[in-house]
Amino acid sequence: MSEDSVTAVREAAEGLTRRISRDYWLKCARENRFPTELWEGMAETGLLGVSVPEEYGGSGGGLSELMVLNEITARAGIISLFFVLGSFARMPIIRHGSAEQIRRFVTPTATGEAKMCFGVTEPNAGTNTFRLQTTARRTDTGWLVNGSKVFITGARDADSMLLIARTSPFDPERPRGGLSLFILDARTPGIEFQRLNIEVLGESQYLVFFKDAALPADALIGQEGQGMKYLFDGLNTERLVLASMAVGLGNRALDKAVAYTRERAPFGQPIGSYQGLQHPMARAKTQLEAARLMMNEAARIFDGGGDAGPLANMAKLLASEACEQAVDIALQAHGGYGFDQDYDVVTLWPFARLMRVAPVNNEMILNYIGEHVLGLPRSY
């Protein structure tokens, strides 16, 4: 990280949010339309390439730049889960893929020519990624994939998919083994999509079926059986980017609450002067700032090559809870209008609440802290 590159991303993101409005984003979400103008704006300003090294056609930077970008866009109410998940998906390819895989699949995502989705969650395995059932079987020409993935954000609009699949049977002695990572053309014959009715505004989620989908031999990333290891490399990044979005969205909710409660005065005094509203707003602000301090410290440790796991997990926990509290008090402060979609407060709630569940639920975060920070026995 350099101060200059973080500042450059901040300025580009602020410029983008002046050009692309929350109204445009909401309209696309409600019409189930891909936000093309947002995507093109991110491509033109180099924001799509943040965290992709310059030698691969990206804008460079790393975690700190991704965090700043996502916090600013979330505060403006523009949340691209697709971008966030795509930025996680391309990370293992940059780190472990071949030069050809990076050229073919990563570089176009940095320039805006192509989009990548993230195919990990399965209907039966859920949080327990070790028990994935989708299989990739070796053939004379490559791999044959069978199985299904669920909740895959943006699968309909994606050109490629990062996929984790089982290449050898589950072995309880080596639960992380037997899983491999693939990068594939999302339009490969044998791949079908079914849209889910998810109550979170933004890009849609899909059930994805693989029925004898034939992949070329070079779809495998790195070594066979190392998929979990490659995926786990990015977990701290995932938690901190999520935390930055939660801090951004929580502050958006508070901005709205403060503006509204300064003006609204059914008893003559602005309702923002009542402690019943003011104190919870002050508390939510304090918790958002605590989360921000922790996530920045975790990012500093991460960028310095240290073990950011404990603070990254704690920051995700704090930020997701603080965001939910901020949206909750914003709803309370708006009274009945909070539930009017035109006031755009209740519309923040599903995403704020989602962050306690995905991409990793807070119980798993607490499990991590219990086991790896407190040294307690594994609880599950």
Least distance from C-beta 207 to ligand FAD, angstroms?
11
Instruction: Report residue 236 as tokens.
Output: 């701290």
Decide if residue 368 touches ligand FAD (CB under 6 A).
Answer: no
Instruction: Report residue 8 as tokens.
Output: 């450059």
Q: Cα–Cα distance between 364 and 380 in angstroms, integer?
A: 10
Element (H, E) at 17: helix 3-19
Task: Single out the residue of 17, 73, 180, 205 in contact with ligand FAD (rule: CB under 6 A).
Answer: 205
Least distance from C-beta 369 to ligand FAD, angstroms?
12
Q: Cα–Cα distance between 288 and 295 in angstroms, integer?
A: 10
Nearer to ligand FAD, 293 or 357 (CB): 357
Least distance from C-beta 82 to ligand FAD, angstroms?
8
Using an 8 Å Cβ cutoff, are 138 and 103 in contact?
A: no
Location of structure tokens 């999509």 = 193
Secondary structure (3-state) at 135: strand
Decide if residue 151 touches ligand FAD (CB under 6 A).
Answer: yes
Least distance from C-beta 148 to ligand FAD, angstroms?
11
- Residue 278 CB neighbour total at 10 angstroms: 18
Q: Which amino acid is at 355?
A: M
Using an 8 Å Cβ cutoff, are 12 and 44 in contact?
A: no
First-to-last alpha carbon distance for the chain, in angstroms, is: 37
Judged by CB under 6 A, the chain residues 47 through 86 that form the site for ligand FAD are: 81, 85
**Which range, of 32-40, 119-127, 232-240, 322-330, touches ligand FAD by CB under 6 A?**
119-127
Q: Cα–Cα distance between 101 and 28 in angstroms, integer?
A: 31
Helix 275-303 and helix 309-333, axial crossing angle in degrees, nearest 10: 160
Nearer to ligand FAD, 129 or 296 (CB): 129
Least distance from C-beta 205 to ligand FAD, angstroms?
5
Q: What is the full DSSP assignment across 130-194?
A: GG---EEEE-SSEEEEEEEEEEEETGGG-SEEEEEEESS---TTSTTTTEEEEEEETT-TTEEEE
Least distance from C-beta 324 to ligand FAD, angstroms?
14
**Which range, of 30-38, 145-153, 229-237, 275-283, touches ligand FAD by CB under 6 A?**
145-153
Location of structure tokens 């991704």 = 66
Q: Cα–Cα distance between 58 and 51 in angstroms, integer?
A: 7
Respond yes or no on whether the N-terminal peptide bond of residue 359 is cis (omega within 30° of 0).
yes
Question: By rule CB under 6 A, what count of residues binds ligand FAD?
Answer: 24
Task: Single out the residue of 6, 144, 198, 301 in contact with ligand FAD (rule: CB under 6 A).
Answer: 198
- In the shown chain, the binding pattern of residues 304 to 333 toward ligand FAD, with x for contact by CB under 6 A and - for none, equals ------------------------------
Q: Cα–Cα distance between 235 and 240 in angstroms, integer?
A: 9
Decide if residue 121 touches ligand FAD (CB under 6 A).
Answer: yes
Nearer to ligand FAD, 53 or 350 (CB): 350
Closest residue by beta carbon to ligand FAD = 126
Nearer to ligand FAD, 82 or 143 (CB): 82
Strands 116-119, 142-153: pairing kind: unpaired
Least distance from C-beta 278 to ligand FAD, angstroms?
32
**Which range, of 12-20, 65-73, 118-126, 332-340, touches ligand FAD by CB under 6 A?**
118-126
Q: Where along the sequence are the contacts to ligand FAD (CB under 6 A)?
A: 81, 85, 117-121, 126-127, 151-153, 198, 200, 205, 354, 357-359, 361, 363-364, 367, 380
